[in-house]
Structure 1
């Protein structure tokens, strides 16, 4: 606790998160969920330390992808005090994860621009369809009802907008039903799913 509060001396936030994660996993305070909580602890601590503005550093996938080595490093810290190898691994996890996040953000920006370009050719329907498109950039899987709530547009207009977006290949209806339909911004979902498959 003193260490987390920079006593006896301040510690850089990223280094503090790396060291605190090992300590949490070593203490293993709960019967279940220690791994998930320990990984969640990293971005929350970085926010508290003002390293991040939002808890958006998701290291879990990197740790799971390198699960065996991750556990070996944790054990080596406990058994032999090999902090250096753990810190190298943690730094690599941060570099890889943040690089992927920047690439994903750029792809989403490009996708949004492509969508707007397609929608701009709709004529009078473009303005309303752009409003629906903007909401789908924030919530890429949504019901028509949810889009009505978020845009303030009438249900009939939202459904017309969704028809336009389907024809443009921007969204896809997932249920095949006529009521309570759910729409997916397919390109957005595909980008967010990139690299999330764990090695077999």
Structure 2
């Protein structure tokens, strides 16, 4: 498979001379025999179809997407080393102080903003292009630690992956003088890859983007975002409901090894099999999660109805908790335009029947958690 392997070029960075890699344009040549993958491709597309349809059975599709985007943002950021938990993120969004450095939570919040921005641009008819990728990157790194690493600008210097210095790196991406040629070829592939199933095109594009590594920071997070953007841009998914970060996190050493084997040995087949299996597993897990959330909300709604006269305000607060699984009475009162005493009373009733639990033990600025809901969402996000 030597024809599939890119060029190795000497590049100087940090006073050291290293071997940098310039990939061949996509698609791979010789081409991957997709007939051999027909069963996996069919299974992946069926799983995506079930996932795309599951939102229609939910009383609030936007709610499922709202929380699922946050879980993906957390997992993708954890792969890059942030220490936030789901509770930290929700506390941050509720204007409470999380238990980890604010920069960690800001990175997760940036990811959510970048996802929402990119999808909004795609829905407005803007093509998935280098320009849009730069815009998304700007949102991703505008606040927090990444603000000093040229948000929204392709790099003008050599970077590397792994190792404290270039000569000890696991991998050195294309030198800056080759970067725009690589990116131009990448954009052409996004627009002109006719005949390839979208799921295969997405698998190839993810590896190529990670190999080019066009920014000084944020490449991993943006590369994972591109998976969802491509599937939505080509109408495989109507909503952003597929996220592979948990699959990549669970199989992290194997994931990195497969990326490297594509570069060093042209092993696109092994990567494609891994990616398709990840789509199948992840889509099926998301469908199961949606059903579990639906069942939980239905069961808890019935419990709220047993509260008698208190059930009316408790039901309103319970619905609010479905969007804000961690909240304070002040936040809920403000959002719902209810008095704080009314919300406090509702939260006490919900606590009595075991739906929420106060988690601070304080008398002021008390924080309430919808624990059963959080337990479903937290799976795989534990630090």
- For the aligned pair, the TM-score class normalised by the smaller chain equals over 0.9
- Is 1:41 aligned to 2:226, yes or no? yes
SS at structure 1 position matched to 2:296: helix
> What pairs with 1:53-72 in structure 2 (closer than 5 Å)?
53-72=238-257
- 1:68 deviation in Å? 1.4
CA distance in 2 between partners of 1:44 and 1:153 (Å): 38
Where do 4+ consecutive residues of structure 1 move more than 3 Å? 195-198
For residue 282 of structure 2, give the secondary structure of its aligned residue in structure 1: helix
Aligned partner of 1:85 in structure 2 is 270
Higher relative CO (Cα under 8 Å, sequence separation at least 6) belongs to 2
- Which residue matches 1:3? 189
Distance in 1 between residues matched to 2:374 and 2:226, nearest whole Å: 26
Query: Partners in 2 of 1:150 and 1:47 — Cα distance?
Result: 31
Among 208, 212, 215, the alignment partner of 1:30 is 215
* 1:59-118 Cα distance to aligned partner (Å, 9 max, x none): 111112111111121112112221111111001111111111111111111111111111
Name the residue aligned to 2:237: 52
Q: How does 1:33-182 map to 2 (within 5 A)?
A: 33-182=218-367
Give unmatched runs, 5+ long, in structure 2: 1-186
Cα 1:174–1:197 change in 2 (3 A) is: closer
Matched residue, 2:54: none
Aligned partners of 2:327 and 2:198: how far apart in 1? Answer: 37
Structure 2 Cα separation of the partners of residues 196 and 143 of structure 1: 23
- Answer whether contact 2:246 2:380 (CA < 8 A) is retained: no
How many equivalent residue pairs? Answer: 197
Say what the alpha-carbon RMSD is for the aligned residues. Answer: 1.5
Structure 1 residue runs without a partner (length 5+): none
Per the normalisation by structure 2, the TM-score is: 0.49
2:357 match: secondary structure: strand
**Contact kept? 2:327, 2:368, Cα under 8 Å:** yes
Per-residue CA deviations over 1:106-137 (Å, capped at 9, x if unaligned) read: 11111111111111111111111111101111
Q: 2:201 aligns with which of 16, 27, 31?
A: 16
Cα deviation per residue 1:154-199 (whole Å; 9 max; x = unaligned)?
211111000001111110112111111111100000111123347x
Q: TM-score, normalised by structure 1?
A: 0.92
Q: Distance in 1 between matches of 2:339 and 2:375?
A: 29
Distance in 1 of aligned mates of 2:196 and 2:364: 56
1:197 and 1:85 map into 2 onto residues whose CA distance is 29
Classify the secondary structure of the residue corresponding to 2:288: helix
